[in-house]
Amino acid sequence: MESCMSRTCSSVIAQQSSPASIFTFLIQTLIASRCKLNNPDEYPRDRVNDVLRSNKEFDFVIIGGGTAGSILARRLTEVKNWNVLLIERGGYPLPETAVPALFTSNLGFPQDYAYKIEYQKEACLSQVDKRCRWSKGKALGGSSVINAMLHIFGNKRDYDTWENIGNPGWNYEQVLPYFRKSLSCAPEFIAKYGTDYCGTDGPMRIRHYNYTATDAEDIILEAAHEAGYDVLEPLNGDRFIGFGRAMGTLDNGQRENCAKAFLSPVKDRKNLYVMTSSRVDKILFERKRAVGVRITLDNNQSVQVRATKEVILSAGSIASPQVLMLSGIGPKNHLKKMGIPTLVDLPVGKNLQDHAIWLGIYLAYNNESVTSPPSEKSQLDDIYDYLEFNAGPLRVLPLDLNGFVDVNDPHSKYPNVQFMFVPYQRYTNNLLSLLQGYNMNDDIIQEMQQAVKKMSLISICPVLIRPLSRGFVELRNTNPADPVKIYANYFAEKEDFNNLLKSVNIVKAFLNTDILKKYNMTLYYPNISGCQHTEPGTDEYWECNLEHLSTTLFHPCGTAMMGPANDSRAVVDSRLKVHGVQNLRVIDASIMPEVTSGNTNAPTMMIAEKGADIIKQDWGVKIQI
């Protein structure tokens, strides 16, 4: 990119230049620094024109260039005589998505699909129109471009359950190698903890967040220990109840999205073809054999591309079922209603699960080190320090402290609620940015904005990681450009609501610890417009708080469930092949029979790594794992 001009020594130029030219050099330097963040030249070039000119057939066509699609394209092109086409609806990741501290600022913006779920009366009531907004990345790299970067495996019970319901090869011991395969952990981590739960030569670098701007996390971790919980070191390990610091997909002050990690190092492979800004509208079949896809390009031109071996659907838990249903694979009655001939009657779009998060619990305390709001100059200095020197607070994100508990059974080996802790120093704008990213109403934004002017806060966010409730997605119409209808059905099972509500008891137990008493930490009760009929701190208040400030953690899964053919809920088998058709697989988070107990990006990476090896095995390629 020409605007990413080469840089010379600023001190020499300063000695030889007029003030005007120094100013020009400063502007050029900042532009060049910004350009280094997700420079499109770092990624595989867009080969749309090559595809159109050659009328080429491909061995594999991958629909969706997100987390799973990026990994599949990397791994399948390792077989040199396989030509692989990766089709992504979005463009290249924007520069600002590389900055860890801007995570919440990317929610709801150009590289976010920002789906709106259908209204329900039990959740999301303080969001605009009382509807949750579900973020999903719209770029090469998918949601790994805009997520919170947490890299959490889940636990043994998660994957053993997958196998026990009829999916051989998916138990914990058999998926662990695929978690490791993706990863390159810091040498100091490997020296301390070994390689049981982290790889050394994978494409994805994960590191600790290294958040040092406040000691709030250390205080909470000490409180957890005092309350009787184990400190998990490392967090991904052989114990699943306790509190600890997660690692994230970031390194050297920048986000490591999956396209950058997996595709950039192999961007010049001749058998790798990437199309961006291209929407797959339909899978093409000859009888019941998938033979290609129909694509709409950015200029609205419609083209068809053939696949000689397989079509692989990796568009995520919302778009993958949409493409399947538009192609005639789905619930027969729903397809008939839409006027789509049914190729195979399967429960596509059913079994939708998500992790509900509660944003209504805060600890308040007086941070005497913060006495005034940051000046505009200091904020500009932070930006300059980051762009020019890769230094300062924009390098980091205070999201690494996590806890896992069973709110019903203190002796359980496995959790049903995850806790995330986010400190907000007095006067900070980060809380405002988060609430805006979640599309909260103005009244709750103003309430919390005023609160953080008066005190420092720690947001304690319980997450329901073992939901019983199930939702579904269905077509709105037959236009591929229109989003599907999403029915999250949070708390349809009352036990889900009650379990999340019980997380308040964990917080109250923390307040009884000596360490939190030492810092005079207290509960802060947000003044919620829909809860003014309740007394703060009462059971009625917390129930109302939960209904209003519960929302999504952006972890939808399960809409193309993996299971045997005799399971009426299943869409794909344990080899990830779609039941009832040939040469079509789904490989993304939609195949999860049950959502994992933690953030879902790492499990999606594992699914793609294992899926790539399954494909190689099925086509006679020897693998090593």
User: Can you say which residues are annotated as belonging to the binding site for FAD?
Assistant: 280
104 phi and psi, to 5 degrees?
-70, -25
Q: Closest by alpha carbon to 307, among 89, 74, 82?
A: 82
Q: Measure the CA–CA gap between 505 and 495, rounded to whole angstroms.
A: 16
For the chain, state the CA radius of gyration: 24
What are the residue numbers of the active site? 555
Q: How far apart are CA 473 and CA 306, in angstroms?
A: 28
Token readout for 143 is: 């949601």
In 246-354, at which residue ranges do the beta strands (DSSP E only) sit?
247-248, 250-251, 254-255, 272-275, 279-286, 289-296, 302-313, 329-330, 344-345
> In the structure encoding, which two tokens stand for residue 70, read together?
């990026």
And the tokens for 391? 């230094």
Q: Are 432 and 423 in contact (CB under 8 A)?
A: no
Note the helical H segments in 124-193.
156-164, 172-182, 187-193
Q: Is the distance from CB of 576 to CB of 617 less than 8 angstroms?
A: no
* Mutual angle of helices 172-182 and 156-164, in 10-degree steps: 120
Strands 456-464 and 472-474: unpaired
Coil, strand or helix: which one is 261? helix
C-alpha 126/C-alpha 568 separation (Å) is 37
Distance CA 253, CA 251 (A): 5
Distance, in Å, from the CA atom of 417 to the CA atom of 504, rounded to the nearest integer, reads 11
> How many contiguous H segments (helices) and E segments (strands) does the chain have?
19, 27
CA-to-CA distance for 67 and 457, rounded, in angstroms? 33
User: What distance in Å separates the CA atoms of residue 311 and residue 84, rounded to the nearest whole number?
Assistant: 10
d(CA 186, CA 191): 9
- Residue 336 token pair: 């008939």
Tokens of 130: 């009382």
3-state secondary structure of 69: helix
The DSSP element (H or E) to which 357 belongs, if any, is: strand 356-358
Q: Are 172 and 153 in contact (CB under 8 A)?
A: no
Instruction: Check: CB of residue 274 under 8 Å from CB of residue 46.
Output: yes
DSSP 138-149: -BTTGGGGTS--
Residue 577's contacts (CB-CB under 8 Å, 6 or more residues apart) are: 584, 585
Q: Beta-strand (E) ranges in 466-603? A: 472-474, 485-487, 522-524, 550-552, 584-586
Q: Report which of 85, 80, 79, 81 is spatially closest to residue 56, judged by C-alpha positions.
A: 85
Burial of 341 (0-12, 13-18, 19+ CB in 10 A): exposed
